A and B are shown apart, each in its own frame.
Chain A
């Protein structure tokens, strides 16, 4: 665990150096563009986290292993946090670039729906006193939410982009290699951070369960 933490710190530092130092200043957007090195890996981690919730939920219902439930719980928490980071960094980037904190663009909308959906998931967990029942209900909700992600995705894209294509976020045809490398370093760093957070949280939840027992 400690090793993982150390490696994560190193990777994050490397990501910072790569994103803030090595990567060139973007011509049209200037330094604001550098927020991408936070923003894009955060989305990745969020989706990864919700995928883990889905798998762990199925595993819990099938095997009834408390470990699977704790994994789902921890992963959902971390996922919600990173979804929040995604929205926040996106807003900060959007203000100088688009001139607004928020717009009902397709991607913004679908990510924010994910955010409230899993916030509800955590709310449900908090509302149930009986641990075993809470685990079961949460697992059902985790599965429903996961199946809903593609539906949300398509409906929101059709809703919005029949009128305006979301070309703003699609990267240009030729991204310099330095930028890609810097982005990749941050991807790895954020993934490690995710694993570290989840491991910590699972550990904590196990201790809590032990203490309660």
Chain B
């Protein structure tokens, strides 16, 4: 009996040793897994952005682009994020919405910029979307909801345009799961802290917008797609209390006013 137990243990050990030894090689590199998934993400990102570009107008006002760019750059620089990977777009739309697409596309609707009372709140939303990009939430969500094989089919064959639109809807008008949203919120607070931007206005923005939920719902997409807004605002405030931040605004007050004026036109 002892011999059998010894042989069984040896067999189990042989299995785990083989597994352990094989783990010593970086198979992701050998099989170019990351390269392939990056290519998939790139193709999907470009495909989705092309569809959005066709249906909505991008605001390319130089002052607006420069202002938003300086906010994104400040957050990226303070958090060692490769700025060149984030492609910022401002869409002309009344919807209060911002979303991230695969391959680092960060889309902000002009309606959201208009709705924010101050630039810190806007930086909070930007930080939240950058966190989704940096934490690979977009591909995780797509793989979970659409499936890897369907995504590969869409990216290689182009797929049915109606199907692509439905998939795109999942990114622009539906929430990530609660864990991912919380993770992105807390990461955004961290990003803001490192960039010397107070997170409190971001939480206040969530409170304000939650109170506007009686408004025309289509204008409140971001809030409808991010449930439990009050709860989110509460934990953002709680997290921000852990840090002492001396707020250094990215834009000067006149620049911020000018930015809002451009969009309100």
Q: Do chains A and B stick together as partners?
A: no
Which residues does B use to contact A, with CB under 8 Å? Answer: none
Which residues does A use to contact B, with CB under 8 Å? Answer: none
